[in-house]
Amino acid sequence: MELVELTPLSGALVGLPGIDGLSTEQRKRLTITVELVSNPSIVFMDEPTSGLDARAAAIVMRTMRNIVNTGRTIVCTIHQPSIDIFESFDELLFMKRGGELIYASPLGPKSSELIISYFEAIEGVQKIRYGYNPATWMLEYFCRETQQDLFNAMGSMYSAILFISITNGTAVQPVVSVERFVSYRERAAGMYSALSFAFAQVVIEFPYVFAQAMIYSTIFYSMASFVWTVDRFIWYLFFMYFTMLYFTFYGMMTMAVTPNHNVDHCCSILYVVEPFHWFYDSSQGMETDTYCFFMESLVEN
């Protein structure tokens, strides 16, 4: 109790959060006390200062320092700490999403100046503003870097899939145009119905497009240096396959509703890109959120 400075509250009731009993900061110290009962050599904490004001956070940090002074080790994650809290730690392990190590160094008084000089020496890193929180500055920079990696991956995939899919859509149109005149003659002879002809045209594309998507996806996935796991590759293949099917069927549809191949080609130029462009570039809606989340999973571990 003395170690975590809770002796004056030894007879208090814990109570209900936000209603009565202990405050948020006191509850955090009580949680730490419970963990110390088993006398661990290492204590892991997840953002112990979250939700606390400056005074309460300072008290929690003082409690952590008291524990460290007994010979125990504390490992904790902390998000955007103030300068005082930042420099109260003994060591810093700065990592980006995916477990990639960015910076590791001892900390202490005035250590933020050393870290700032280290990162400002990196080409392309913007200088920190006077009085700005160093922890926030570092997080903002590397968050922007992660976003840039994501945008690059999205752009490369956009270009790759747009190229192969439009090629599919335009390549199928001359075939449909020729087969349409054959179907007119054979329908007039009563050999089969229009539904049977359309069904056969659609079904034959499924295995062909799948083989095409498998070959193309394997090559592009390797060249783009995406994360190689089975589930992510299957999701990527799924996305590529159905996008290529969409363009193929769209090309068949435009050919079916236009009188000849020349008119169909003009319609394809005007309309084939727009639905795909909306799906990728819309600023709102589930489609864009899902695509961004999907791309983020490909470029990060």
For the chain, the C-alpha Rg in angstroms (whole number) is 31
CA atoms within 13 A on the CB side of 259: 0
Q: Which of 25, 128, 143 is nearest to 94 (CA)?
A: 143
Distance CA 296, CA 301 (A): 9
The secondary structure of residue 194, as a DSSP letter, is H
Domains of the chain (ranges, CATH numbers): 7-132 (3.40.50.300), 145-299 (no CATH)
Give the position of tokens 């903002």.
Answer: 140
DSSP letter for each residue of 4-37: TT-GGGTT-----TTTSSS-HHHHHHHHHHHHHT
CA 2 to chain centre: 44
Instruction: Output the tens digit of pLDDT for each of the chain's 301 residues.
Output: 778 888 888 778 887 776 777 888 888 888 888 888 888 889 898 888 887 888 888 888 888 888 888 889 999 888 778 777 877 888 888 887 777 788 888 887 777 777 888 888 877 777 888 878 887 888 777 777 767 777 777 777 777 787 888 888 888 888 888 888 788 777 777 787 878 888 888 898 999 999 999 998 898 888 877 778 888 889 889 988 988 898 888 888 888 888 776 776 666 665 555 554 544 454 344 444 555 555 556 656 5
| Tokens of residue 172, six digits | 């199928």
